[in-house]
Amino acid sequence: MLKKRNQKGFTLIEIIAVLVILGILAAVAIPKYMNLQSDARNKAIGGAVAALQSTATQLYSKALLNGSTSGNDWVLASATYNVGDFWGTIVGAQQTVVKVTGASPDAGNYSDVIGTDNATKTFNMW
């Protein structure tokens, strides 16, 4: 009599089942991953716009404290500011506009979202 050896391993059906499950997961996960990248870029630009808004508010407050403006006559000349990986402009008056106009070369590819509504914000200073 021949002794049966203890055979270890996976059957062909088990391997195919695992591959099918991995294929389904990949088909679902890859599009979600691509959306996450786009969402992250939009959020990064939104953060830069919020930082520019904060900078504009600080400049306005500083002008009030220094006595160089009475409030209603405050006008900020257009200037470019570096905000993390981004450059942005602030044009100030009562209707203050902050706009992210570009990204530094090492900021990655943000060209698909620069110029969208996320890159510009208009707000009342007072």
Cα gap 69→4, rounded to integer Å: 95
> Amino acid letter at 15?
I
How high does pLDDT run on average in the chain? 76
What are 21-37's pLDDT values in tens digits? 999 998 988 888 777 87
Selected residue with higher pLDDT from 18 and 107? 18
Q: Is 73 inside a domain boundary?
A: yes
Q: Is 100 inside a domain boundary?
A: yes
Task: Confirm if 80 and 98 have CB atoms less than 8 A apart.
Answer: no
The answer, yes or no, to whether residue 1 has pLDDT greater than 60, is no
Domain count, the chain: 1
Angle value at C-alpha 107, between 120 and 45, nearest 5 degrees: 20
Strands of the sheet with 120-124, listed across from one edge: 76-83, 86-92, 95-103, 120-124
Residues of the domain holding 66: 13-124
What are 49-86's pLDDT values in tens digits? 888 888 888 888 888 888 877 767 777 777 788 887 77
pLDDT of residue 105: 47
Q: Is 8 inside a domain boundary?
A: no
Q: Is 6 inside a domain boundary?
A: no
Q: Is 74 inside a domain boundary?
A: yes
